[in-house]
Amino acid sequence: MSTAPLVERPGQLILVPTPIGNLSDMTERAIETLKSVALIACEDTRTSGVLLSHFGINTPTTSFHAHNEHGKASRLVQTMISGQDVALISDAGTPGISDPGYLLVRAALDAHLEVSALPGPTAVIPALAASGLPTDRYVFEGFLPAKKGRQGRIASLVEEDRTVVLYESPHRLKKLLTQLSEHAGEERQAAVAREISKKFEEMRRGSLAELLEWVESLDRVRGEIVVVLASEKASKKLNRA
Ligand code: SAM
């Protein structure tokens, strides 16, 4: 009786970043990869459908999101074990970065499948790089909890000796800047990146007091937001300069 595996090569999982606002940021490798795999797992098949058809990608899609990822991960692993490559995309940016992905990566690795990630769009890196705050050491916190545990997390983040990068929804920006200011002091240097790569892209830099003054001058904060906070030491240096 032969013990040869059913397939010569199991499929692999490829994480493919997609634009966060500007379609020109889609890389050639991302397009080629999405055309070549057997199946694309999408956070939202309708949202991604628009992007895929824009780039002439006709690969079959399936949904993979926060509400089905546990059950879906094992089915996608079976697809890969049967020899088919699967790509994972999220609504925007890099899958797994404040988006579903980790569970599937873990499930694929546990099944001894190959996992790779393409470099590409994400909001964290352009916000950090253009913030004017130290980039040599940073910590990415993603979204803070909306309520429970939020104050404690903020209290520890303001003590960080690395630059902190946070995602925040526009309607909570004022609250976040106020809370950061309460814990870190209003002189702490920070930056707010809004609508990166989009028509109304904006980068505001200054003390938390200055950023709060700007937010308070607006009728409403619109668009997608990344907040970058300097460490106390870096902030003092910048304030002395
Ligand atoms: N996977 C994405 C990435 O790689 O950046 C992040 C997805 S997360 C659900 C969405 C959050 O990312 C937004 O609320 C915002 O904080 C940030 N974000 C995404 N696109 C952005 C943009 N164009 N400008 C500023 N922030 C953005």
Tens digits of residue pLDDT in 31-80: 999 999 999 999 999 999 999 999 999 999 999 999 999 999 999 999 99
Predicted pLDDT at 241: 85
Ligand 1 centroid to 23 CA: how many Å? Answer: 15
How far apart CA 230 and CA 39 sit, in angstroms, is: 42
- Torsion over CA: 230, 236, 240, 241 (sign): negative
Q: Which residues sit opposite 226 in a β-bridge?
A: 167, 193
Ligand 1 centroid to 161 CA: how many Å? Answer: 24
Q: Which of 7, 19, 8, 74 is nearest to 41 (CA)?
A: 74
Q: Give pTM, 2 decimals.
A: 0.95
76-120 pLDDT, tens digit each: 999 999 999 999 999 999 999 999 999 999 999 999 999 999 999
Mean pLDDT on 188-208: 98
Share of the chain above pLDDT 90, in %: 96
127-157 pLDDT, tens digit each: 999 999 999 999 999 999 999 999 999 999 9
- Helix extents (H) in the chain: 28-36, 45-54, 69-81, 102-110, 124-130, 150-157, 173-184, 208-216, 232-240
Write down all domains in the chain, each with its CATH number in brackets: 12-117 (3.40.1010.10), 124-240 (3.30.950.10)
Ligand 1 centroid to 5 CA: how many Å? Answer: 42
Mean pLDDT on 176-180: 98
205-227 pLDDT, tens digit each: 999 999 999 999 999 999 999 99
Q: Which of 133, 123, 129, 96 is nearest to 14 (CA)?
A: 96
CB 79 within 8 A of CB 43: no
| pLDDT band, residue 2 (cuts 50/70/90) | low
For ligand 1, whether the C-beta of 227 sits within 6 Å is no
Residue 191 DSSP SS3: strand
